Each structure stands twice: as C-alpha cells, then as structure tokens.
A and B are shown apart, each in its own frame.
Chain A
Amino acid sequence: MNETMTKMTLRDEDFELLMLHADGELPAELVAEAQNLLAESAAAQAIWQDLQLGRELVRGIAVDALAPAQVKQTRVDLSLLPGQVMRKLPNDEALHPVAETPRERGLIAWLQNLGIGKVGFAMGLAVAAVAFMVVKAGPVVEQPQGERQAEIAAVPGTNIAAPSDDPSVIIEEMEIESGTLMVHPPHEQGDSTIIWHFQDNNAAQGAGGEG
C-alpha cells in the first residue's frame, strides 16, 4: 500500500525537478536524478507526458495565436499542472536558480589563497562602504521613468512579433488562473479582436471548430 502511494504521488521538489528538466534548464549534475525519478515513478512519468503535451499544445495553439496579437507582456509559464495549461509565473526565482559560474569560484579561491577569509573580507567591506559613502555623497541622478525597460517575460522558444502597424487593440498582460486563452487579431480593418476563454476540456474542440 505504502509502496503504491509512493509511486503514485510526487513531491513538490520532484515536480520542480521535472519542470526544469522539461525546460532544458536542469543543471547537468541533476539530469541523472531526474531520469532515475522518471524510471521509477509512475506519477513522474505521467506528469512528464503532461509537460510534453502541454508544451506542444501551447506552442501549437495559443502561442501562434498570441504572436500576431502584439502581446507586449505575457506572464505565462509552459508548465502543465492538472487543470491548468498556462499559469502565472511565480514572482520568485525559485524555479530558475542561477548556477555558480567557474569565474565566481575562482575569485573566492583567489581571495582565500591570499589568506582573506569571510570575516576579513566583511570587515574590509565595511570599512570600504563607509569610505564609499563619503566619496559618493554627491547628488544621485535617477534614471527617468520613461527610459526604464519594462520586464518582458516572453514564452520561451517563441518569437513574439513586434507591432507592424498601430493596432487598435493591444493585450498588455494576462493573468491566467485556469484554462486557456487564445487571442485572434482582426482579419480586416474595423473587425474585433476575438479572445476565446477555454476551459481545459474545450480547448481543442473550440480551436478545431472555428472558422
């Protein structure tokens, strides 16, 4: 019983591991762990298939429809959870850890070779910070707001087209809680922009049926 339960459930960490693997963002040292998980767990295999299916679905249907709709900011993720095709991106970077680069390791090792440990470095940093504040006590010029670049979270692996004309309708942002959202730009000048809101079970049916 316990063995069955173990095989049919998946921990959050394992789910994240599979998501990163599906996105090709898994560090090399964790790939074997993900493959072992896939070999041993039926739940992992099912979710892996869903992830692949979700990526194809989103790329094939939603993204192609979004691209000509001049989407400026699309906070969507390609992950597929039960009942969700696209979902909001988390605000934290937990799913996208930044790998430590060899250069960083080299700098730390170099400092340690000089006999500078963490405490010595911190003390030096504190002294330098005080001096830096004295030197930099001049005016601080803020970058004008208009020149700040907005965060653009585009769907990976796709090329969202830049606006060609001045479209009358721009979808700036989407918050997708469930289901799938498809945007069809107008066929002719003066036509409406059509936004389909699909429940998950209706996505394929609606996409195939229209026209």
Chain B
Amino acid sequence: MIAMTWQKGAMRTLIPALALLACAQASAQVPQAPNPPTQVPTQVVERASFQVRVIEASKGAPQVDPKLGDLERELRSLHRDYAHFTLIKTETQNLTTGTRGTLRLPNGELVIQFLGLSPDKVQRVRHRVEMPGMNATVRAIAPGGRTLDVLQVGDKLVIVATTVGR
C-alpha cells in the first residue's frame, strides 16, 4: 500500500518533468547563431535648430504681417473667421541631443526637446513638443519641414510655426 502511494506520488512529479525535459532537449537541438560582436555604444552629440515664430490671429479686417510673407497663403486658408495675423515674436532654439528649450506663449510655456536624428533614409529631426497644459507629441521632421500648432486662447488663435533645421 505504501509502495503504491509512493509510486503514485512519484508519477505525479515525474510525468511533467519528463515531458518538459523532452521539450528542452528538442529545443537544444536547434543550431544557435554565434554571438554578435559586442558594440560599445558611442554617444554622438547631434545638433538641430528650431526656429519658432509665435503668431496671433484674430477676427477682423484681413491683414497679414509683412514678416509672415512665406506663410501668408497658408495662414489665409487656416480658418475663415480669423484673418488678421500678427507676428508676436521669433526665437531660434539650437539644441543638442536630449536638451530642452522653452518658449513663453500667451497661455503658458512651450517646451521642445531634441531627441536625436532618425536613422531613416531621409534623416529627420526627432523632437518632443509639449504645448502649454495640454498635449505632447513626438515628431520626426526632415530639415526644412514646418509645423503650425494652432491653439485657441480666449477669442484669438495662437499659432506656433516651427521650422526645423540642422
């Protein structure tokens, strides 16, 4: 009786053990690829520039600040009710990998963090943009590329035109 009980207990342990051992053995038969050479990560300091123009749009007689000539067509088609555009300020942030630049907007602070260059065929400047109290986006923009972030502040629009460069 004791022998039978012991036998049953041993079976409970051995059956799964043997099954898993068989699996392990089978997987050990698969040829393993050689270890790739260990690469020492090199910290490359990359640089990027962000030209930020802060524009205010209001309802009123159509007028575009002469300093915004390159954006005039796009601004005019932005919103049918907002036709009066004034350049508030222009700032250029020159950043290295991992650093952050801040810019004061009428409703808070804009933060740009340069994350590095993308390894794609078209090399893009990866950066994170935090809008005042709202959303953050990670963007990858080819040098020369431009974004317009539009926020409503009171009865006006604040437009942040960011042009990325190297």
Which residues in A have some Cβ–Cβ distance to B below 8 Å?
111, 114-117, 120-121, 123-125, 127-129, 131-132, 135-136, 138-139, 141-142, 144, 166, 168-179, 181, 191-199, 202, 206, 209-211
Contacts and interface: CB of A to CB of B under 8 A. Distances in A.
A197 B131 contact: yes
A209 B121 CA distance: 38
Contacts of B27: 136
A160 to B, nearest CB: 16
B151 interface: yes
Interface residues of B, number: 53
Given A127-B13, A174-B136, A202-B152, 14 more contacts: A111-B16, A127-B17, A128-B24, A131-B21, A132-B24, A141-B33, A142-B36, A144-B36, A166-B142, A169-B140, A181-B135, A192-B74, A193-B145, A199-B152
B42 interface: no
Contacts of B36: 141-142, 144
B12 A116 contact: yes
A171 to B, nearest CB: 6
Contact of B135 (A121, A128, A197): A197
Contact of B134 (A121, A127, A135, A179): A179
B135 A115 contact: no
A111 B124 CA distance: 55
Contact of A135 (B11, B28, B78): B28
Contacts of B88: none
A136 B28 contact: yes
Contacts of A169: 139-142, 145-147
The interface residues of chain B, by DSSP majority, are classed as mixed
Contact of A125 (B14, B20, B147): B20
B137 A194 contact: no
B15 A209 contact: no
B21 A132 contact: yes
A138 B33 CA distance: 11
A206 B152 contact: yes
B15 A124 contact: yes
Interface in B1-52: 8-9, 11-17, 19-21, 24-25, 27-28, 32-36
A180 to B, nearest CB: 9
B80 interface: yes
B137 A115 contact: no
14 contacts: A120-B16, A121-B16, A124-B20, A128-B16, A128-B24, A136-B24, A144-B36, A172-B126, A172-B140, A177-B133, A177-B134, A193-B146, A194-B74, A195-B137
B15 A211 contact: no
A132 B17 CA distance: 10
B22 to A, nearest CB: 9
The 8 closest A-B pairs by CB, nearest first: A120-B12, A124-B16, A128-B20, A168-B145, A173-B138, A132-B24, A124-B17, A168-B142
B8 A115 contact: yes
B115 to A, nearest CB: 9
A206 B33 CA distance: 56
